[in-house]
């Protein structure tokens, strides 16, 4: 018995996955809005990826191909791990702090859910397009596919370890009021994000290999890793977290030193990063003014003043 497929007018599943994503997110938004329960937000996002990966694998026509199975499995593994981790964490914390200043403003909260809809659908594009690519045959694995799997494994491991290290740090009462600088967090201010970016580049490389001859699909699939990178680097990731940390710890000299010796994203040994000139930090390691609320500039001015006094 043949498996059902997407309708002919939506053979690549783009419309169907968009509709499923909208309905899925609106359902959880209604739960959050009616019951004033914002603990399901991240769970809804992570599990939505799982739904789309399984849906496109089953209906896309390539369910028997190892490449499609592996690509979908990567997304399912990532989505389940992250959504369960974030759900358990928010249940322990009690509230989602991102909504502290807008929890009673339904329109503002809804904007976040709309963003989440775009995030899920766009970042899922590589696996959606790979699972629905026509005329696929099961051939030998390409070097690009193998590299993609390796990058996913590396990124998933880094993100998982970083999340667990920070959770353990936060759960230790001795660390109350401190920023996390343990484990991978001593080498990067956001190691979970470098893991996230790396694994989605891996998913893209592994999943879009069959689609490269189709230019529009290849270009569209690139939106997945690009959206992940731009979202974390410019929107809801580093800018917000760096601003929050600067506001909370910026008056502490030890935090300022941590920020000066620790890379914003890439994993770099602190002695190496701390010794780099400012222009290299900005050019290669994303140490941009966007991620500093005046904390580093203030210490630079102070050091210059002390040097002048010494002379």
pLDDT in tens, the chain (311 residues): 566 888 889 999 999 999 999 999 999 999 888 877 778 888 999 999 999 999 999 999 888 888 889 999 999 999 999 999 988 888 876 665 555 555 567 787 888 899 999 999 999 999 999 999 886 666 677 888 899 999 999 999 999 999 999 999 999 989 888 999 999 999 999 999 999 999 999 999 998 876 566 788 889 999 999 999 999 999 888 998 999 899 999 889 999 999 999 999 999 999 999 999 999 999 999 999 989 887 776 554 434 443 444 33
Can you point out the beta strands (E) in the chain? none
Q: How far, in Å, CA of 169 to CA of 175, rounded?
A: 7
* Tokens linked to 70: 């592996």
257 contacts: CB under 8 Å, gap ≥ 6: none
Q: How far apart are CA 76 and CA 209, in angstroms?
A: 19
Question: What is the DSSP code string of 75-113?
Answer: HHHHHHHHHHHHHHHHHHH-S-GGGTTTTT-HHHHHHHH
Shortest CA distance to 168 belongs to which of 150, 153, 156, 181? Answer: 181
Distance of CA 244 to the CA centre of its chain: 18
The angle at the Cα of 161, spanning 72 to 129, to the nearest 5 degrees, equals: 20
Q: What's the confidence (pLDDT) of residue 92?
A: 79
Q: Which DSSP string corresponds to 48-77?
A: HHHHHHHHHHHHSS-TT-HHHHHHHHHHHH
Whether this model's pTM surpasses 0.85:
yes
Domain ranges of the chain: 8-236, 245-311
Sign of the torsion formed by the C-alpha atoms of 70, 71, 72 and 77: positive
Query: What pLDDT does residue 134 have?
Result: 84
Contact 66, 149 (CB under 8 A): no
pLDDT of residue 306: 34
Round the CA-based radius of gyration of the chain to a whole number and report it.
22
Question: Residue 260's closest CA among 246, 247, 239?
Answer: 246
Instruction: Return the pLDDT at 107.
Output: 81
Q: What is the H or E stretch that residue 197 is in?
A: helix 191-207
Q: Which residues contact 285 (CB under 8 A, 6 or more apart)?
A: 263, 264, 265, 266, 268, 273, 276
Specify the pLDDT at position 62: 86
Cα(40)–Cα(29) distance, integer angstroms: 9
C-alpha 66, offset from chain centre? 26
User: Which two tokens mark 235?
Assistant: 């929107």
CA distance 106 to 128: 32
pLDDT at 310: 38
As a whole number of angstroms, the distance between CA 23 and CA 26 comes to: 5
Task: Tell me the two tokens of residue 283.
Answer: 């050019």
């Amino acid at each position: 018995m043949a498996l059902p497929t997407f309708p002919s007018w939506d053979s690549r599943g783009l419309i169907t996955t968009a509709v499923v994503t909208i309905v899925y997110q609106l359902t959880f938004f209604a739960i959050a809005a009616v019951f004033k329960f914002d603990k399901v937000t991240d769970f809804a996002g992570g599990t939505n990826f799982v739904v789309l990966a399984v849906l496109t694998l089953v209906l896309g026509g390539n369910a028997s191909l190892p490449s499609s199975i592996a690509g979908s499995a990567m997304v399912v593994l990532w989505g389940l791990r992250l959504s369960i981790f974030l759900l358990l964490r928010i249940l322990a914390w009690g509230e989602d702090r991102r909504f502290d200043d807008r929890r009673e403003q339904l329109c503002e909260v809804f904007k976040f859910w709309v963003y989440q809809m775009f995030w899920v659908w766009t970042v899922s594009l590589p696996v959606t397009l790979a699972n629905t690519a026509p005329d696929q045959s099961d051939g030998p694995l390409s070097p690009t596919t193998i590299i993609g799997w390796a990058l996913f494994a590396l990124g998933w491991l880094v993100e998982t370890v970083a999340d667990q290290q920070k959770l353990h740090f936060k759960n230790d009462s001795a660390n109350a009021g401190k920023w996390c600088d343990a484990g991978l967090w001593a080498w990067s201010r956001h190691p979970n994000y470098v893991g996230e970016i790396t694994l989605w580049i891996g998913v893209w490389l592994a999943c879009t290999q069959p689609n490269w001859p189709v230019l529009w699909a290849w270009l569209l699939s690139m939106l997945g890793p690009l959206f992940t990178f731009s979202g974390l680097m410019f929107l809801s990731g580093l800018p917000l977290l760096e601003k929050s940390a600067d506001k909370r710890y910026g008056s502490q000299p030890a935090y300022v030193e941590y920020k000066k010796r620790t890379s914003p994203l890439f994993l770099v040994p602190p002695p190496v990063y701390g010794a780099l000139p400012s222009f290299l930090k900005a050019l290669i390691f994303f140490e941009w003014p966007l991620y500093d609320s005046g904390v580093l500039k203030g210490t630079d001015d102070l050091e210059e003043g002390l040097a002048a006094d010494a002379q």
